[in-house]
């Protein structure tokens, strides 16, 4: 939004110690202030909307290009079949989260003149509730069969072995490097997070992540970032990089599209961890 130079006067109320219930009025003068979005748990009525905004957010994501073995960048208007394949996979991830006892949160828009609508969402898998290929009944209930028919065995291998297994190994290495005897599986895992492209840059992702921190304040959080932009956002939120992964090196370029020679660098991903605030002290006591 262009800077109009207008000044907003924002007031808030607090009740502090020693005030005996007296209300204190503060004034805050800021430029371009944006209110915090409302965060709540998703309901089944939200799932179609979440799938739609996830599709809009990830239509150009390099990792999903690679998973789907796409030959070119996806155009949701002309590449109807491939676009629907991506939508089905995103709904599959949502289903695996709910079937695993996961926690899906949504952010609601607060733009003037609009009704509240879901504009961002996060899928969190609780400790020891990871998605794995051996959990066949859960995968089938979540809709893995249509994914197999569309992306084939190659897609399954890329998701289940090259991505999930490599990521888990990277996190284990990071934990050992930290001196931890815990398992990465015991963390809260960010399976997916997305913001409607029209609402990006308004702090939706940060609000969703901070809500998770507040929900489980004594926990470790783990994730994989698939872009340098999201990586930097997670660093700002207190995560650290424990390993960098290369998916499809020698097969695809950095956007996940088939390539050869020097262009076949692979898709770069970042395994990241946010440790507990007392983690350094806890580890030192174990040593």
Crossing angle of helices 80-99/47-58, nearest 10°? 130
Looking at residue 134, what is its pLDDT? 80
> Which range among 14-18, 102-106, 206-210, 273-277 shows the weakest confidence by mean pLDDT?
14-18
The answer to whether residue 16 sits within a structural domain is no
Encode pLDDT of 179-190 as tens digits: 888 999 999 999
Cα–Cα distance between 268 and 276 in angstroms, integer?
A: 26
The answer to whether residue 90 sits within a structural domain is yes
The answer to whether residue 166 sits within a structural domain is yes
The answer to whether residue 19 sits within a structural domain is no
pLDDT at 115 over 90: no
The answer to whether residue 89 sits within a structural domain is yes
The upper half-sphere exposure of residue 115, i.e. CA atoms within 13 Å in the direction of its Cβ, equals: 0
Confidence of residue 285 (pLDDT cuts 50, 70, 90): very low
Confidence of residue 17 (pLDDT cuts 50, 70, 90): very low
The answer to whether residue 146 sits within a structural domain is yes
Q: CA dihedral defined by 149, 151, 153, 155, rounded to 10 degrees?
A: -150
Q: Give the CATH number, domain containing residue 244.
A: 3.40.630.30
The answer to whether residue 13 sits within a structural domain is no
Range of the domain at 114: 36-286
Burial class, 126, CB count within 10 angstroms (exposed 0-12 / middle 13-18 / buried 19+): middle
This prediction has a pTM of: 0.83
> Which range among 99-108, 235-244, 269-278 shows the weakest confidence by mean pLDDT?
269-278
Encode pLDDT of 57-99 as tens digits: 999 999 999 999 999 998 888 899 999 999 999 999 999 999 9
Looking at residue 54, what is its pLDDT? 97
Percent of the chain with pLDDT over 90: 70
The answer to whether residue 149 sits within a structural domain is yes
| Cα–Cα separations (whole angstroms), residue 211 to 122, 127, 241, 242, 246 | 10, 17, 21, 23, 30
Domain count, the chain: 1
Looking at residue 179, what is its pLDDT? 87
Looking at residue 69, what is its pLDDT? 93
């Amino acid at each position: 939004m262009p800077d109009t130079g207008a000044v907003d006067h924002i007031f808030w109320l607090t009740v502090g110690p020693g005030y005996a219930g007296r209300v204190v009025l503060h004034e805050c003068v800021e430029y371009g202030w944006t209110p915090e979005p409302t965060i709540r748990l998703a309901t089944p009525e939200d799932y179609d909307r979440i799938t739609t905004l996830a599709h809009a957010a990830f239509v150009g994501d390099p990792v999903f290009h690679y998973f789907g073995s796409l030959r070119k960048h996806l155009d949701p208007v002309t590449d109807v079949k491939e676009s629907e394949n991506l939508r089905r996979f995103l709904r599959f991830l949502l289903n695996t989260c709910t079937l695993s006892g996961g926690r899906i949160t949504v952010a609601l828009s607060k733009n003037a003149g609009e009704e509240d609508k879901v504009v961002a969402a996060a899928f969190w898998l609780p400790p020891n509730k990871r998605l794995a290929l051996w959990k066949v009944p859960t995968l089938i209930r979540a809709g893995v069969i249509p994914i197999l028919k569309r992306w084939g065995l190659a897609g399954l291998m890329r998701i289940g072995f090259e991505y999930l297994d490599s990521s888990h190994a990277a996190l284990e290495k990071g934990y050992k490097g930290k001196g931890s005897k815990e398992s990465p599986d015991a963390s809260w895992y960010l399976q997916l997070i997305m913001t409607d492209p029209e609402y990006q840059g308004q702090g939706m992702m940060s609000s969703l992540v901070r809500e998770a921190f507040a929900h489980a304040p004594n926990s470790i959080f783990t994730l994989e970032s698939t872009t340098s932009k999201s990586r930097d956002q997670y660093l700002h939120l207190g995560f650290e990089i424990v390993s960098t992964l290369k998916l499809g090196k020698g097969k695809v370029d950095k956007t996940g599209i088939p390539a050869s020679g020097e262009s076949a660098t692979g898709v770069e991903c970042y395994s990241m961890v946010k440790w507990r605030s007392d983690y350094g002290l806890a580890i030192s006591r174990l040593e």
